[in-house]
Amino acid sequence: MNFRLVDLSAEEIAQQLSVVEPLTDSVRGLIDAVIRTEVDDDELNAAREQIDAIVARLRTKQKPGSFGVQFTRELSGLSWGNAAVGARNGIAPPMRIVHHEDGRATCDVELGAAYEGPGGLVHGGVSAMLIDQLLGEAASVGNGLPCFTGTLTVKYLRPTPLGPLSMSAETVRREGRKIFVRGEICTADGPTVTAEAIMVSPKELPSRDQIMKLRAELAAQDGQG
Ligand SMILES: CCCCCCCC(=O)SCCNC(=O)CCNC(=O)[C@H](O)C(C)(C)COP(=O)(O)OP(=O)(O)OC[C@H]1O[C@@H](n2cnc3c(N)ncnc32)[C@H](O)[C@@H]1OP(=O)(O)O
């Protein structure tokens, strides 16, 4: 797993997010506009040239590979490339704000044209991804144990319309490193999707000793700087 410590304060993270989140929203706007625009072919070609120029501008300085998951010294995870919730990922549905209360995770999301499967309806794989993420967060944050999805079972009760949706997830029980969770996606008329999962906290997570060693290395770098 691509795991890295970064030396950023809460203020520095907030500052970076204040720049990155509007950029990601603009990318989401671009994706939506490309799907729905009715301008003519000349306009489409002109738009493509402008988009290619922006891509070239961003590529002048770029990380190799993926964003990975960076952790602060306080061990907050910055998974900004994440497919479901990445702050820098315009493909990720806009579901970054997740509330945790009494072991229950809840989240509101509004899905537009980019998430369509059947006409006017949410793609089943998108529903599975959204609920998988929330189930994982309920298991991980609710139990203080970082978890991977072991088994995910999704039941599509009725079609999920594009538009505003609310989601919830909670832990049902825990057996050692296995956390059994359940959740649902709802419209104002009630659930459209229910899901159950077994989330497993991997035995090969970086140990506390490894994390402390990385923190000590960062502190030593500070001393040299
Ligand atoms: C805030 C964070 C939100 C996170 C949301 C993340 C959502 C994701 O997308 S995660 C990515 C998708 N998932 C994966 O890629 C997982 C791939 N699989 C793996 O990495 C491993 O197989 C993993 C971590 C599931 C288990 O590995 P490991 O720690 O070696 O488990 P292992 O020691 O064999 O088994 C531990 C227990 O879990 C059970 N178990 C193992 N794999 C599974 C499974 N796939 N499903 C159900 N149970 C399982 C075992 O039976 C065992 O149970 P028991 O203790 O009762 O005998």
Q: What pLDDT does residue 155 have?
A: 98
Indicate which residue's Cα is closest to atom 22 of ligand 1.
150
If asked whether residues 22 and 120 sit together in one domain, one would say no
Phi, psi at 89, each rounded to 5°: -105, 105
- Determine whether the shortest distance from the Cβ of 137 to ligand 1 is under 6 A: yes
The pLDDT value recorded for residue 206 is: 63
pLDDT at 204: 76
Burial of 175 (C-beta count, 10 Å sphere; 0-12/13-18/19+): exposed
Same domain for 34 and 84, yes or no, is yes
Domain that holds residue 182: 94-225
The CATH number of whichever domain residue 149 belongs to comes to: 3.10.129.10
Model confidence at 225, pLDDT cuts 50, 70, 90, reads very low
Please state the rounded mean pLDDT for residues 152-164. Answer: 98
Q: What residue's CA is closest to ligand 1, atom 44?
A: 150
Question: Looking at this protein, which amino acid is placed at residue 91?
Answer: I
Decide if pLDDT at 39 tops 50: yes
pLDDT of residue 218: 64
The pLDDT tens digits for 132-147 are: 999 999 998 888 888 9
- Mutate-to-test residue for ligand 1 from 200, 204, 205, 207, highest number of ligand atoms within 8 A of CB: 200
Domain check: are 70 and 144 in the same one?
no
Domain boundary among 45, 73, 92: 92
Give pLDDT tens digits for 161-213.
999 999 999 999 999 999 999 999 999 999 999 999 999 998 877 666 666 67
**Residues 218, 73 contacting (CB under 8 angstroms):** yes
> 203 CA distance to ligand 1 centroid (A)?
9
| Number of domains making up the chain | 2
Same domain, 212 and 116: yes
Residue 24 has pLDDT above 60, yes or no: yes
Token output for 85: 């919730």
**Residue 198 near ligand 1, beta carbon < 6 Å:** yes
pLDDT of residue 102: 82
Let me know whether 131 and 216 are in one domain: yes
CA of 199 from ligand 1 middle (Å) equals 6
Q: What is the pLDDT of residues 41-97, one digit of tens each?
A: 999 999 999 999 999 999 999 999 999 888 776 667 788 999 999 999 999 998 867
Which residues have a Cβ under 8 Å from the Cβ of 6 and sit 6 or more positions away? 70, 71, 72, 78
Do 117 and 217 lie in a common domain? yes
Q: How far is the CA of 23 from the centre of ligand 1 (A)?
A: 34
Cα 198 to middle of ligand 1, angstroms? 8
Task: Sheet containing 77-78: give its strands across.
Answer: 3-5, 69-71, 77-78
Distance 91 CA to ligand 1 centre (A): 26
Residues 43, 4: one domain?
yes
**Is the confidence metric ipTM above 0.95 for this complex?**
yes
Of the candidates 92, 108, 132, which is a domain's last residue? 92
151 lines ligand 1 (CB under 6 A): yes
Same domain, 103 and 160: yes
Task: Clarify whether residues 83 and 22 are in a common domain.
Answer: yes
99 lies in the same domain as 209: yes
110 with 38, same domain: the answer is: no
Q: What is the pLDDT of residues 90-116, one digit of tens each?
A: 999 988 678 888 879 999 999 999 999
How far is residue 142's CA from residue 204's CA, in Å, rounded to a whole number?
A: 20
